[in-house]
Amino acid sequence: MSRPDMKTHITPKQAAVLFIPFMILLLLASCNRTPVAAEEAATENAHGPEVELTPEQAKAIALSTGPLEHRDLRSTLKVNGRLTLPPQNEAQVSALIGGIVSRIPVREGEAVGQGQVLLEVASTEFLQLQQDYLEASADLDLKRANMERQRALRTENINAQRTFQEAEAALRSAEARQKGMAEKLGLLGTDARQLTPGTMRTSFFVKAPIAGSLHHISVTMGQYIEPNKPLFSITDNKALHIDLTVFEQDISKVHVGQKVTFSIAKDPHGTHEAEIFGVNKAFEPGQQAILVHARMSNVQDQLLPGMFIDARIQTSSDSALCLPERAIVGNGDDHYIYVEHEPNTFRQVQVAIGATDQGYTEIKPLDLLAPDAKVVMNGAYYLLSQMTKGSG
């Protein structure tokens, strides 16, 4: 007789009893693993994103590292301006009286000294002025002698008081006439005291009132020149300085004595130094800005009046943690540096940037950095490209 099949039947209640301990074991195991995973994630966040290079990659981009530095960085105000000359260092030269040009001993572009002859002019008016002076001098001698005679007669009550007064007035008039003519001759370069009938000349000289460069001649041989018409232009570029335009919101930042670094607009790589010596106290016509004047320490020959410049006024100087500009890279509005974490492994650290001066920029790391941290100086842009590859 066969035995009936033996089947084990588990009721729902028994299944629940068996399943609950199993779930408890799984939960305990999960709880034991969670702190480890959290710790690993926190460690990764603390170190920040990293990028690893092969030795070949590092060599190919000439990657180099260096330390953080503390340097004196200057805060600057960026302004624009132009090169100018003060009015006393440029001149328009003209003749006081008319005449015919008989000699031009100079050429454009030459350096001339103060008092150097620029032009010789033949003039009948000049000749007449000399003649009039000599006649006035002779008349003055006559009036002076008559005055002495009238004084003597008046002392002896021989002549009338009126006669003496008339002689005195005539003498003063003659003195004034002779003095005025002497001054005119002096303006034309002739010493009236040395003038005699034998030293009279038919021509006078036009001379340079200042030393400088002769850059414009508007007269030719044989030309008749009119009085007070500009004939020559002279500039003394040794007195060249810069006029800077400073707007209303920045006026409080500038004062006499501040250093200025500037470059010519068409030559941004050549830099020059200057120092502020004057600040205007009124706005320029039509704009809420003033002119600030700075004197150059060394005026180079290639600098000319009227050139436009880009300048930075040094407003303050402070010691700051900084790096070369090339060590700092930007991604959108954020800035980063890369610090060596392990050989050929580099951690990205976000920084806030401050003032930039002479190729160095102030940084404020948003993560704590070791004092001896090795920062990537050359190759930071490559590391950024590797880290952002495929993103976006």
* Secondary structure (DSSP) of 145-211: HHHHHHHHHHHTT-S-HHHHHHHHHHHHHHHHHHHHHHHHHHHTT--GGG--TTT--SEEEEE-SS-
Report how far residue 315's alpha carbon sits from residue 40's, in angstroms, rounded to the nearest whole number.
48
> Is residue 12 scored above 90 in pLDDT?
no
CATH number of this structure's domain 124-201, picked from the four choices 1.10.3470, 1.20.120, 1.10.533, 1.10.287 = 1.10.287
pLDDT for residue 379: 94
Q: State the pLDDT confidence band at 206, using cuts at 50, 70 and 90.
A: very high
Identical fold between 50-75+318-388 and 88-121+207-236? no
- Assign a CATH topology to domain 77-87+237-317: Elongation Factor Tu (Ef-tu); domain 3 (2.40.30)
Name the residue ranges covered by the structural domains of the chain: 50-75+318-388, 77-87+237-317, 88-121+207-236, 124-201
**DSSP single-letter state for residue 252:** G
Q: For residue 391, what pLDDT is reported?
A: 59
**Residue 22's pLDDT is what?**
47
153 conformational bin, left if phi > 0, alpha if psi -120 to 50, beta if neither: alpha
Name the range with the highest mean pLDDT among 150-159, 265-274, 284-293. Answer: 284-293
Residue 359's region, left for phi above 0, alpha for psi from -120 to 50, else beta, is left
50-75+318-388 placed in CATH 3.40.190.10:
no
pLDDT at 156 over 50: yes
pLDDT of 27 above 80: no
Q: Is the pLDDT of residue 45 over 70?
A: no
Residue 222 sits at φ, ψ, to 5 deg, of 80, -5
Per-residue pLDDT at 390: 55
Q: Which fold has domain 88-121+207-236?
A: OB fold (Dihydrolipoamide Acetyltransferase, E2P) (2.40.50)
